[in-house]
């Protein structure tokens, strides 16, 4: 369906005929004159009518449109143009092609999610592993693709297409056939995520996809193209492009397989790390308990030493022989106490170092 089909006129219709056709159709499909149940459909039809009318009523825009956005024009406008051939080519370029757009979008999702996931897992593995572990798979795709949209909008604004669309020779342009600016490209990308992909929510995505398919096949334009004033066109593929596209698609699926393997490896590494840290933590707890017991023993020995020292002072005054007899025991108690205290201090230093290393490893993950 072309703009001429929307306005129900011939490709050779005059400006007056186009104006009259628009007035008749606008009156027929205006939401205010139709039943409430028909108003959503009429609103979409009116958007399409307005886009078609604004393009065909302007001589320059119409010439550019008929020429397939300059694709089939020569550099000078004064050369003769075959109107029938141009109309046919323009109609071919504006065919809805919902399945090509579906596969192009699927490839874009695959590429975008792969790049974001790989980059994220490389820069900060632990947070990505936590995301994979706690977020439902389909919602994870929505999160990753939502991040990629900012990059995708930049690509569209620079090249007029995306990697997936480029494989199928699809291009997104404004009504005048120019590339979109970044803000418009970003707006369109988020509208696609919301209205076409249902934010990646499985059941919602099914209904939004069916609804978008119906609008595209019946009106040529999707709701996001109508709101953004954009047009998606398709060009003929060359044999080298087809071969290259096939190779790239195969490479993408190979990349997806690699990503799944990489994710599994990350999970194994994370599990091994968690197990290792649990073992270290148990050792720290065990040493903490041992040091506590050792501290209690040292405190008890110190109390005994103090009591014995007091007794030695009594013997020194009252019974020197008793004092001399137990002096060796007194010295041995001092030596044993200092030895235990030294060992305790060494183990305490090592224990604190182990705790510090444990905390450092956790903070790096």
- For residue range 103-115, list pLDDT tens digits in order: 888 888 888 888 8
Q: SS3 of 136, please?
A: coil
- Give the pLDDT confidence score for residue 346 in this predicted structure: 92
Distance of CA 271 to the CA centre of its chain: 24
59-66 vs 83-93: helix crossing angle, rounded to 10: 80
> 42-54 b/e with 16+ CB inside 10 Å = b?
bbbbbbbbebbbe
Instruction: Band the pLDDT of 17: cuts 50, 70, 90.
Output: confident
Instruction: Band the pLDDT of 154: cuts 50, 70, 90.
Output: very high
User: Helices in the chain by DSSP H: which ranges?
Assistant: 3-7, 15-29, 39-56, 59-66, 83-93, 98-123, 125-134, 137-159, 163-167, 182-191, 202-219, 223-228, 239-318, 320-364
- For residue range 49-88, list pLDDT tens digits in order: 888 888 888 888 888 787 763 433 333 333 333 444 434 5
- For residue range 223-253, list pLDDT tens digits in order: 888 888 888 887 766 666 667 777 877 877 7
- Is residue 162 predicted with pLDDT exceeding 80? yes
* C-alpha to C-alpha distance for 172 and 180, rounded to whole angstroms: 8
- Is residue 169 predicted with pLDDT exceeding 70? yes
- Give the pLDDT confidence score for residue 85 in this predicted structure: 41
State pTM to two decimals.
0.49
Please report where in the chains the tokens 């820069």 appear, as a residue.
Answer: 123
């Amino acid at each position: 369906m072309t703009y001429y089909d929307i306005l129900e006129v011939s490709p050779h219709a005059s400006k007056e005929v186009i104006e009259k056709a628009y007035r008749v159709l606008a009156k027929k499909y205006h939401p205010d004159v139709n039943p409430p149940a028909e108003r959503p459909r009429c609103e979409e039809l009116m958007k399409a009518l307005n886009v078609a009318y604004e393009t065909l009523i302007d001589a320059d825009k119409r010439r550019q449109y008929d020429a397939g956005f300059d694709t089939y024009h020569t550099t000078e406008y004064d050369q003769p143009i075959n109107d029938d051939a141009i109309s046919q080519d323009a109609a071919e370029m504006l065919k809805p092609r919902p399945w090509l757009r579906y596969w192009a979008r699927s490839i874009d999702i695959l590429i975008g999610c792969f790049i974001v996931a790989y980059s994220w897992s490389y820069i900060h593995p632990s947070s990505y592993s936590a995301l994979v572990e706690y977020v439902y798979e389909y919602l994870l795709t929505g999160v990753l693709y939502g991040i990629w949209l900012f990059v995708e909008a930049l690509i569209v604004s620079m090249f007029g297409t995306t990697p997936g669309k480029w494989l199928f020779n699809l291009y997104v342009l404004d009504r005048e056939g120019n590339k979109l600016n970044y803000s418009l490209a970003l707006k369109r990308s988020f509208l696609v995520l919301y209205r076409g992909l249902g934010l990646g929510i499985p059941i919602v995505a099914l209904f939004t996809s069916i609804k978008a398919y119906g609008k595209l096949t019946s009106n040529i334009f999707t709701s996001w193209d109508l709101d953004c004033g954009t047009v998606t066109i398709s060009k003929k593929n060359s044999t080298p492009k087809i071969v290259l596209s096939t190779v790239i698609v195969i490479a993408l699926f190979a990349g997806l397989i690699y990503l799944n393997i990489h994710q599994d490896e990350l999970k194994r590494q994370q599990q091994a790390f968690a197990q290792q840290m649990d073992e270290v933590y148990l050792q720290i707890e065990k040493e903490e308990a041992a040091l506590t017991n050792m501290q209690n023993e040292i405190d008890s020995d110190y109390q005994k030493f103090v009591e014995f020292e007091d007794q030695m002072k009594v013997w020194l005054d009252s019974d020197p022989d008793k004092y001399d007899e137990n002096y060796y025991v007194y010295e041995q108690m001092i030596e044993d106490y200092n030895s235990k205290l030294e060992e305790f201090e060494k183990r305490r230093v090592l224990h604190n170092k182990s705790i510090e290393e444990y905390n450092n490893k956790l903070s790096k993950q």
